[in-house]
Amino acid sequence: MTRKRALITGITGQDGSYLAELLLSQGSEVHGTVRRVALEDPQHRLWRIRHILDRVHLHAASLESYASLFRVVEEVRPDECYHLAAQSFVSYSFDDEFSTINMNINGTHYLLSALKEMAPKCRFYFAATSEMFGNAAESPQNERTPFHPRSPYGISKVAGYHLTCNYREAYGIFACNGILFNHESERRGFEFVTRKVSSGVARIKSGKEEKLILGNLDAVRDWGYSPDYVRAMWLMLQQPEPDDFVVATGEAHSVRELVQAAFRVVDLDWRDCVVVDEKLYRPSEISALRGDSSKARRVLGWKPTLTFDELVTRMVEWDLRREREESDRGRDRQAQAFASE
């Protein structure tokens, strides 16, 4: 039986790394696009996939270059393509809205066009987002909820969503939108609030910092576990017909609840450690997002495996171990320096 060939844009990110692991476990041949700078600095930029580097095929490409994406698609001729790469940090999208919108919209368009020309039978997954709902008129949000994005990032993803629908309807591409609500893990980038909290708590517990500075504690999100959501991506492309799915836990928690849960893990009172800085508020905030994943549960047989508290505990404990290991390495270096004197 011929192995499926999968292409992941954004393979070095949180979701891309978990997806690569899942696809390898399914027996797929896994290819991923990375920025050329990542290939030049693998120690720092490829850390999430370091343990599987000998089992995946990496290709230098840029979302801003149609030629580079076309070349990769022409070379790989994938059976499945998971488009995860994007400028995805919402706060940064306000700082540089032009590059966010250009990169995210054009990158999706370039990739769909290349697939249409060189791999029209390829099944395509687009990483849509709950940020497209913005200040939605209803809660929870489902596949029929109108979009009202409140950030350049959300706007760019609405355009990508409609591009995906258009290629499905106009050209018969097997194209799916996964409207994923917030999903986190110990591989989350430090700029995102969940990892900022978990790493900050770990540094405070280890005595390296005294305060954790945050923005709006009243923002409410539906937080799940990244490997669960990656499984939903894969399930979408195994269906007989393409469709769009909301993926969410259905539970909403505030940033304040996230902070409380994280500090409980280390038996500290969060009120002694957290400072709110209004400069960290978004220019246009989304008050609450909560997803209705009934369709995904019914059609895909999907459901989350971790509770909110289990997710927060997992992230904090991972960062605590990381802080201890860094301290141990520092002591070892210091001991070696003394020994060499």
Active-site positions? Answer: 129, 131, 153
Nearest to 182 by CA among 124, 247, 241: 247
Distance (Å, whole) CA 235 – CA 229: 10
Q: Which two tokens stand for residue 246?
A: 């909301």
Q: Which two tokens stand for residue 241?
A: 């017909």
Nearest to 164 by CA among 126, 130, 127: 126
* Residue located via tokens 């504690």: 217
Nearest to 237 by CA among 110, 99, 101, 124: 124
- Do 220 and 252 contact (CB within 8 A), yes or no? yes
